[in-house]
Amino acid sequence: MVKILVITFIALYGSTASASSIYKCIKDNKIVFSQESCPEEYRQHEIKYSLGITTETDSDKRKEYQDPLQALLNRSTISQEKLLQLISSEIYRLNQENSYFEILRASEAQKLERKRYWEKLDKEDPGHIAALAEMNSYFDDLIVNNQSSIDILQQHQTRINSAQNDIDNSDSSPR
């Protein structure tokens, strides 16, 4: 019996924990809560829960989210501004990831140093130097991979910006 209760609780809690936003639908004096957008005859407030903070915003305007990847797969077009924004956000994410890798590298170096100290090994111990070299090589590879992606994205960003500038210049030229 206890197993059934625990499983039921986990199933119910798991399904509600994944929803970070719900909609408060208001019509006359009636209020209905929904995980989907409200019908058109209702006023809509969006309630978001993130990091222990609940915010409610009046969101009568319906949002139609279009996943950029899905748009590309459907051969729909994405505006150049949106594409530039996506590229910029990906470049930012990769730079943040590189910073995170540097933090992880420092942490791993400290672990290796503590291990060397407690094992009473010399700083020039071949095993310690090999472990440091392997760790540095691993993080260097991750950072180089990210940097090559950043370079490619920046090339695309430059190409899009120059194409946009060419279009803007041709529109402003006298006829």
All structural domains of the chain with their residue ranges: 19-64, 69-172
Unique residue bearing structure tokens 């797969």: 73
Q: Is-contact 157 84, C-beta < 8 A?
A: yes
User: Residue 174: its pLDDT value, please?
Assistant: 58
Task: Tell me the pLDDT of the chain (175 aa) as tens digits.
Answer: 545 544 554 544 444 444 567 888 888 888 888 888 887 788 888 888 766 676 777 666 555 666 666 666 665 677 788 888 888 989 999 999 999 999 999 999 999 999 999 999 999 999 999 999 999 999 999 999 999 999 999 998 998 888 877 777 776 655 5
Q: Which amino acid is at 93?
A: R
pTM of the model: 0.53
Sign of CA dihedral 155, 157, 163, 169: negative
Give the integer Cα–Cα distance in Å for 60 and 43. 6
Q: How far apart are the first and last CA of the chain?
A: 83
Phi, psi of 57 (to 5 degrees): -125, 145
User: Residue 152: its pLDDT value, please?
Assistant: 92
